[in-house]
Each structure stands twice: as C-alpha cells, then as structure tokens.
Amino acid sequence: MMRKIRLGFIGAGWWATTNHIPLLAKREDVELVAVCRLGKDVLQRIKDEFGFAFATEDYRELLEQDLDAVVVSSPHRFHYEHAKAALERGFHVMCEKPMALHAIEAWDLVEAARKRNLQLLVPYGWHYKPFVQRAKQFMDDGHVGQVEYVTCHMASPTKDFFSGGGSVPSQWEPTLAKPDVTTWQVKAYGGGYAHGQVTHSSALMFWLTGLRAEWVSALMTAPNSQVDMYNAATVRFTSGAIGTISGAATLPDNDKFQVDVRIFGSDGVLLLDVERERLELRRHDGRHVHVEVPPGEGGYSCEGPPNCFVEAIRGRGHNHSPGEVAARSVELIEAMHESANQGGKPIPVCSLGLVNP
C-alpha cells in the first residue's frame, strides 16, 4: 500500500480553506496531519472540519510534527519566515504567492530548496491549464526564436478587495475563514495590486520566456486606496529584450480576469489571452498555429498546483511553477515599487541586495 504524504499547513485563511485544504483532503494518498493559524475558535473549526490530527497557533510546534511537506498560506509578510523554517527542517514546501516580499529572501528560499533537493512550488494556477502548457511547449521548442519584446497585462475584479471592505471576487466566497484585510490593504505588509495580482501575470511571463529583469522603471497610482491599484512598468531584461508590465485592480465584479501576454521574437509572435481564451503562434515563415481553447478554460482555478505538488514529491509530476520563476517575479515587483517610490527612476535589479542568485 502506498504511503501517504503527510502534510502540514502554516496559515489556514480564506484561500487555504476555500481551495488548498478541501482539494488535498480528497486525495487518498494525502494525510492532513497538522494545521496552524491564529484564532483558537476558527482553528478548532478547521481542525474538526478537515480531520487534522494536530492544531496549533505556533508554527514552530507544527514543524515538530512528523511531516513530509508544508503548505505556507500565511499572510504575505510571513511567507519567507515560514517557508525558510520548513525547508530547513527538510520539508517540501508549497508557498503561496508572492513567495516573499524581497528579492534577497526569494532567492534564499530557492537556494535552500536546491541545497536540500526539495520541491519548492508556488501555486500559480494558470501555469497548469492545458492551453497555457501548450504555449510553454511552443516557447520551449523555439517557435518564436530569440525573445526581443514582451508585453504583459493583467486586470482583475478586485477593487473592493484592495481598497474597500475587503470582499473577494464573488466566485470565491469565503467558507470557514475570511480574508485578512491587512494582508491586501496595508502597503508595508505586501498589500496592493502588484504583490496581490501582478505576481500571477509576471510569473507566467517569466515561466514562458525564461527572461529575467535587469532594469525596471515603474509608476503606480492608488486612487481612493492606501495601496497601489494601477501599475505601469517598462523593463529591460538581462538578455537585452525589453518589455512592458501593466496591472489594474478595478474590473467590475464577475468580469473575467484579464491576462494578456504577447511575446515577440526573431521568428514570430506568441499571443496568449486567458480572457478571450486565445492562443496563437504567428510566424514570419507563414507557419501559423491557432489553438482551439475549450470555453471556460481561461478562467482562473487552482486545482493543478496542489495536486502537482503531491505528484512532484512522489517523483511522478513536474513542477510548472518553481521557486526560481517566483523569485524572478518577486525581484521585478520589488524593483517596481522602488522605482515608483522614486517617481519612476530606473532601478537596477542588482541593487536589491542580491548575492549571486
């Protein structure tokens, strides 16, 4: 009989109790061993609802349990501390996005996982959609050629989430736990659209292209908000390619998420649009490809990453959203904030305290 993967959860808020825990609880090869969060009453309800054997408000006590892996879904500002502690104990880690708030922390997590041969996966749901994986295959097979220019745009129905009462998009109503408003609406804690959403689109761009930011110039605005609601950045990548990154938090509720990535290369162009469910390869030699995307496949869902995390631990699956991709997103967003704080001044990514990432 196959041994079950023994999981612990550090952080059990809105998204963990809505997506990760219910999904993993259905797997016969997973055992929910331990859960940690603040608030004894909510913690007890979660323990009872999902059958965790152990519950605590102290993540250090959780790490003393007999575990194989840890899911970190605590508030943004604690991701690095919690993920690093779990990796140092020898546990595989799935860490929510943003993986960290600072580049030096993100690359430290990547190195900690590499040194111990552990899985470090960040649950970016779009990476696991079949048509997005087809796009990745086009890129890996070289159909676009040398990447020369990229545009990457995202918009979300999240106006209230970042600037109002903190309600989530209506398709993801909280079940056992409500979102912690301070996570999303306090700048010092990683609040705002860049950390909350551009993390998705930029990580997708980095995963598809293999690019890495070198210089970033950005502006952000925060109308009627304490945190950024709109982002606009120009980027020079280490390869010499250039690009633009944009984000907007203010689509009306129930609108489809917009993620539009267009990759221009020496041999052609890749067009990926999750809102209009479009994937096209347009080549200069005329060998164009139009991929039919089933209706609804572009909508965001996050079943793929947790399931892939378990499969990767067993050596049977591939990690499509590794820590290295997440770290490239973290350093981009940190540079965007730094540039915006200085009125759009170009910021070299190497100035963020990195040491041989």
Mean pLDDT (the chain) is 95
pLDDT > 80? residue 292: yes
Phi, psi for 307 (deg, rounded to 5):
-65, -40
% residues pLDDT > 90 (the chain):
90
- 144 and 194 together in one domain: yes
At 81, which CATH number?
3.40.50.720
Which of 108, 125, 142 marks a domain boundary?
125
Q: Could you give the dihedral angle defined by the CA atoms of residues 178, 183, 186 and 188, in that order, rounded to the nearest 10 degrees? A: 160
Long-range contacts of 64-67 (CB under 8 A, 24+ apart): 65/6, 65/8, 65/33, 65/34, 66/6, 66/33, 67/6, 67/7, 67/8, 67/33, 67/34, 67/91
- 186 vs 352, residue with greater confidence: 186
Number of domains in the chain: 2
Q: Once rounded to an integer, what is the mean pLDDT over residues 254-276?
A: 97
169 touches 156 (CB < 8 A): yes
158 touches 169 (CB < 8 A): yes
pLDDT > 60? residue 316: yes
| Strand-pair partners of 291 | 279
Residue 11 within a domain:
yes
- 25 and 139 together in one domain: no
Residue 116 within a domain:
yes
pTM of structure = 0.96
Q: Once rounded to an integer, what is the mean pLDDT over residues 241-256?
A: 96
Task: Give how far Cα 333 sits from Cα of 64, 96, 248, 330, Å.
Answer: 34, 16, 14, 5
3-state secondary structure at position 3? coil
Q: Once rounded to an integer, what is the mean pLDDT over residues 78-102?
A: 98
Q: Once rounded to an integer, what is the mean pLDDT over residues 198-227?
A: 98
pLDDT > 60? residue 357: no
Task: List, for residues 8-50, the tens digit of each pLDDT value.
Answer: 999 999 999 999 999 999 999 999 999 999 999 999 999 999 9
Which of 81, 97, 125 marks a domain boundary?
125
Residue 35 within a domain:
yes
Task: List, for residues 100-115, the tens digit of each pLDDT value.
Answer: 999 999 999 999 999 9
- 213 and 70 together in one domain: no
Lowest mean pLDDT among 164-168, 179-183, 202-206, 261-265: 164-168
- 204 and 292 together in one domain: yes
- 119 and 171 together in one domain: no
Closest to 7 measured CA to CA, from 19, 22, 24, 28: 24
- 98 and 241 together in one domain: no
pLDDT > 70? residue 191: yes
Residue 308 within a domain:
no
Q: Once rounded to an integer, what is the mean pLDDT over residues 194-201?
A: 98
- 84 and 185 together in one domain: no
- 231 and 288 together in one domain: yes
**Domain limits for position 208:** 126-299+321-351
pLDDT at 355: 57
Q: Once rounded to an integer, what is the mean pLDDT over residues 116-134?
A: 98
- 261 and 178 together in one domain: yes
Residue 189 within a domain:
yes
Phi, psi for 257 (deg, rounded to 5):
-60, 145
pLDDT > 80? residue 356: no
Crossing angle of helices 103-116/323-341, nearest 10°?
Answer: 170
Residue 133 within a domain:
yes
